Amino acid sequence: MKDSIQNKINRIQEIALASGMKKNLMDSNIIEFHDDDNLSKSIRNAKEAELFFSELKSAIDLAKRNSTKNVLE
């Protein structure tokens, strides 16, 4: 990772620490509902969730292998 990007990440982590005191003020009235999310709507039970996560893990592993391959090429 480039130093400039790492510096940005470090800076944001500092802001998060400083924002800790303001958390309640900024977050207390923020509630996001996503029960109409396409993904959650279509997974009905634990078995389907397990199957989905198994396929997701395979897809992620394959995507990681593809990205390594692309870098080597």
To other proteins, the closest distance from the beta carbon of 28 in angstroms equals 8
Please give the structure tokens belonging to residue 22: 């303001």
Does 2 interact with other proteins (rule: CB under 8 A)?
yes
Report the distance separating Cα 11 and Cα 35, nearest Å: 34
Does 72 interact with other proteins (rule: CB under 8 A)?
no
Report 14-53 residues binding other proteins (CB under 8 A): 15-17, 19-20, 22-23, 26-27, 29-35, 37-40, 42-43, 45-46, 48-49, 52
* 34, 40 contact by CB (below 8 A): yes
Report the distance separating Cα 58 and Cα 53, nearest Å: 9
To other proteins, the closest distance from the beta carbon of 7 in angstroms equals 10
